[in-house]
Amino acid sequence: MTLPLAIMFPDLSPEIFQIDLGSFTFALRWYALAYIVGFLLGWWIIQSLMKRPALWPADTAPMPPARVEGLLTYVIIGVILGGRLGFVLFYQTSYYLTYPAEILRIWEGGMSFHGGLAGVIIAGLIYCRRHGVPPLQLADSMALVAPIGIGLGRVANFINAELWGRPTTLPWGVVFPGPQAQSCPWDWPMAMCARHPTQLYEAALEGAVLFGLLAWLVWRKGWLKTPGAITGVFIAGYGIARFTVEFWRQADAQFITPGNPLGHVLTLGPLGVSMGQVLSLPMIIIGLALLWKSRRS
């Protein structure tokens, strides 16, 4: 049978360029560039927020603009350590216990958002304690810019042809390369296996839409004057977006078995829940609770 209306994956390389230095090869990958651009844009926006005291409670910014550069160092360390350790612990523990040296190979991908969030929270609390910055106000500024890096990272996931979705016959389904992506159910009605481009779904929801909502609340509604409100919207918004997209996202291979082809790790009534959804549920609850508490105050 033919494959009507499906989209063939474009000829994209995970590497932007590569330089051979003899015994060492340097390569800049799209995944790394996404992090670099996300950090730089976040630094610029937070610095701009600190230059506008009228946005903050009592018309006073939580810290001088010059200190944002120091915050960037804390955030980078928190994201990288937390994201990598979260991926190792939540998704591929047995593999990395067998090959522990590969934990350090972060340039090959494999980062957990939930682990990265935990790392940023810890790094931010340490920064606030050392520099006397109000934690919730700093969290609000960081929450505003977080969707930028998340969205760029999901686009990089698409370019890397990883974290694709479940098989689909919809016209925007993408035929990803590789034997795992081409492994569809035995009764699949088409000659090739097209899948949901869930990386782009997440880039749109967790990145563009969430950033647009937060930016509107900050610059149009003045929500930075209510410490914790923007953080609550970000945490709940990401959790809702991720929980939703997980219904179309392919589960990680280690959770898929012959008796559990969708990779569910928990059952809630008639619904099976993936690991991404399990990790997102607390985010939704915590985010809504923080939003309710901050707005009530």
- pTM value is 0.88
Q: How confident is the model at residue 52 (pLDDT cuts 50, 70, 90)?
A: very high
Helix axes of 229-245 and 275-296: crossing angle, nearest 10 degrees: 160
Per-domain boundaries in the chain: 13-183+191-296
Residue 279: pLDDT band with limits 50, 70, 90:
confident
Query: Residue 272: which H helix or E strand, with range?
Result: strand 271-273
Q: How far is Cα 242 from Cα 205, in angstroms, rounded to an integer?
A: 8
pLDDT given at position 268:
72
Give the DSSP H or E segment for 264: none
What pLDDT is recorded for position 16?
Answer: 86
- The fraction of the chain above a pLDDT of 90, given in percent, is 59
- What does the alpha-carbon distance between residue 198 and residue 195 come to, in Å, rounded to a whole number? 8
How many Cβ atoms sit within 10 Å of the Cβ of residue 288? Answer: 16
**What pLDDT does residue 1 have?**
44
pLDDT at residue 136, rounded to an integer? 96
More confident: 202 or 11: 202
Work out the angle between the directed axes of helices 135-159 and 210-219 (0-180°, nearest 10).
Answer: 150
Under a CB-based contact definition with an 8 Å cutoff, are residues 294 and 228 in contact? yes
The span from the CA of 203 to the CA of 12, in Å, is: 18
Binding residues: 154
